[in-house]
């Protein structure tokens, strides 16, 4: 950008830099520039006056460059007339439209096309990975029934978890919450000892892969699940995210754990694993056909709308629907059809001589081919009265478009990304 500015002969004088800095509110005190404040703020930002002034000079060059490009923008009478027509004309469109749901019944697919769709969209039809596990569940509450806690243990638990005993008037004294503190301390102690016991026995037997042996030493019964997937877990493991995660990490025959959850402490073993696969077409033909038809109907709706657009452009008589008369909406809201700024812009460029667009427009999930049915034009005399005001109104947009086109040209020429903050208006 700076190179282009230099080529355009854009320069900034020292006086312009000085004046721009003096005008900055940041450096003003009591409504006037403060050199002392200027120095203080630059020092706090680890910047010298020379560096800041060079930076400001660059900003001013960019600003002048932007303005120079904008100043070249011209609003023609044709531009003003087009805007006048947007503001004052009314149009009525006739249209033909197609949505996938309109044409899906016409879609016929061969076996080869179904196979092709399956091959191109395998991820949509893959079965989920599944595992079946054996597990034991150690309930710490059973351990707690055999244990006690000392006064010191209760006191320690209370102190370490004092936030749990917050009352309306502050922290409740231990004497008032001793039963709860004792029960919680016992529960925590039992959970800790149960976990350590499970970990110790698992460690001693992990190489054997024998869950029955581990269960026997813990006095527990081995339980089993059928095959399940991550998104459809076995009923007994519903909500046990830690266990489910581990189940899909283990190899068949491998022991895993201990895993602590609100239900207790698990040790698990993967009995069986079924990998994710794409079933043959014969097994999932109905599902493939359904999705392939939907995909094909999207293409067919567009194709029919393409044909209709060309026929409307060729002035062919078709069975159409009408929008009714409406004015230009900057938001792009068309009666009956819906919201489409692109279609709105195109529609208001239509004339009796060039009444149709030979390509359709997609609005929502429906394709529309349109043709001008009628245009009610505002009196030309009104345009002559407002021409100059319209030009003033349009100029800022024209200037923005000129700047945008210039930036686009620079980007294409340099084949690099331009920092938008350098060329944006400030």
Give tens-digit pLDDT for 332-363. Answer: 999 999 999 999 999 999 999 999 999 999 99
Inter-residue contact 315 to 372 (CB < 8 Å): no
Q: With 80 as the cut, is the pLDDT of residue 219 above it?
A: yes
- Reported as a single tens digit per residue, the pLDDT across 279-331 is 999 999 999 999 999 999 999 999 999 999 999 999 999 999 999 999 999 89
> Considering Cα of 109, then 115, then 117, then 118, what sign does the dihedral take?
positive
b/e 95-125 (16+ beta carbons within 10 angstroms → b)? bbbbebeebbeebeeeeeebeebbeeeeeeb
**Beta strands of 22-145 (E only): which ranges?**
28-29, 32-33, 90-98, 130-138
Tell me if residue 326 falls in helix, strand or coil. Answer: strand
pLDDT of res. 182: 84
Which secondary structure element, helix H or strand E, spans residue 237, and what is its range? none
Tokens standing for residue 323: 């929008």
Is the bond preceding 73 in cis, omega lying within 30 degrees of 0? no
340: phi then psi, degrees, rounded to nearest 5: -160, 95
**Beta strands of 99-188 (E only): which ranges?**
130-138, 166-167, 170-171
The Cα-based distances of 118 to 30, 74, 123, 242, 288 in angstroms read 75, 56, 9, 35, 7
Looking at domain 127-274, its CATH architecture is Roll (3.10)
Long-range contacts made by residues 52-61, C-beta under 8 angstroms, separation at least 24? 52/21, 53/17, 53/21, 56/17, 56/20, 56/21, 57/12, 57/17, 58/2, 59/20, 59/426, 60/12, 60/16, 60/17, 60/20, 61/2, 61/5, 61/10, 61/11, 61/12
The residues facing 256 across adjacent strands are: 268
**Cα 317 from chain centroid (whole Å):** 44
Distance separating alpha carbons of residues 256 and 205, to the nearest angstrom? 11
Distance separating alpha carbons of residues 129 and 229, to the nearest angstrom? 6
> Considering Cα of 272, then 277, then 283, then 285, what sign does the dihedral take?
positive
Q: In what order do the strands lie in the sheet with 366-376?
A: 321-326, 90-98, 366-376, 361-363
Averaged confidence pLDDT in the chain: 90
Stronger pLDDT, 155 or 130, i.e. the higher one = 130
pLDDT of res. 408: 87
Q: Is 247 left (phi over 0), alpha (psi -120 to 50) or beta?
A: alpha
pLDDT of res. 166: 82
Residue 303 burial (CB < 10 Å; 0-12/13-18/19+)?
middle
Which secondary structure element, helix H or strand E, spans residue 422, and what is its range? helix 420-423
pLDDT band at 92 (very low <50, low <70, confident <90, very high): very high
The residues facing 371 across adjacent strands are: 94, 356
């Amino acid at each position: 950008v700076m190179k282009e500015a230099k080529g355009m002969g854009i320069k900034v004088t020292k006086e312009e830099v000085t004046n721009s800095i003096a005008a900055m509110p940041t450096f003003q005190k009591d409504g006037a520039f403060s050199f002392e404040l200027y120095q203080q703020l630059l020092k706090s930002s680890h910047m010298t006056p020379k560096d800041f002034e060079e930076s400001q000079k660059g900003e001013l060059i960019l600003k002048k460059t932007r303005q120079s490009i904008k100043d070249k923008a011209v609003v023609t009478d044709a531009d003003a007339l087009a805007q006048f027509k947007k503001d004052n004309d009314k149009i009525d469109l006739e249209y033909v439209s197609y949505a996938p749901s309109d044409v899906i019944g016409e879609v016929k697919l061969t076996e080869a096309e179904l196979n092709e769709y399956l091959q191109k969209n395998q991820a949509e039809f893959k079965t989920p990975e599944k595992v079946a596990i054996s597990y034991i569940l150690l309930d710490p509450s059973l351990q707690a029934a055999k244990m006690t806690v000392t006064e010191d243990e209760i006191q320690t638990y209370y102190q370490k978890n004092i936030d749990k005993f917050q009352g309306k008037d502050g922290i409740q004294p231990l004497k008032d919450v001793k039963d709860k503190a004792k029960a919680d301390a016992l529960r925590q102690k039992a959970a800790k000892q149960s976990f350590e016991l499970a970990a110790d026995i698992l460690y001693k037997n992990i190489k054997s892969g024998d869950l029955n042996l581990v269960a026997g030493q813990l006095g527990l019964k081995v339980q089993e699940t059928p095959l399940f997937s991550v998104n459809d877990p076995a009923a007994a493991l519903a909500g046990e995210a830690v266990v489910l995660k581990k189940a899909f990490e283990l190899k068949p025959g491998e022991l895993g754990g201990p895993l602590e959850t609100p239900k207790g402490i698990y040790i698990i073993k993967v009995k069986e694993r079924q990998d994710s696969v794409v079933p043959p077409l014969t097994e999932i033909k109905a599902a493939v056909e359904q999705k392939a038809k939907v995909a094909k109907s999207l293409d067919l709706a567009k194709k029919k709308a393409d044909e209709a657009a060309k026929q409307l452009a060729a002035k062919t008589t078709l069975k159409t629907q009408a929008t009714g008369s409406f004015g230009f909406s900057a938001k792009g809201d068309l009666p009956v059809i819906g919201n489409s700024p692109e279609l709105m812009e195109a529609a208001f460029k239509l004339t009796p001589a060039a009444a149709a667009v030979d390509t359709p427009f997609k609005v929502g999930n429906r394709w529309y081919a349109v043709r001008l049915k009628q245009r009610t034009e505002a009196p030309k005399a009104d345009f002559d009265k407002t021409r100059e005001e319209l030009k003033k109104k349009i100029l800022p947009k024209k200037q923005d478009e000129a700047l945008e086109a210039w930036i686009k040209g620079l980007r294409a020429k340099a084949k690099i990304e331009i920092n938008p903050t350098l060329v944006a208006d400030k």
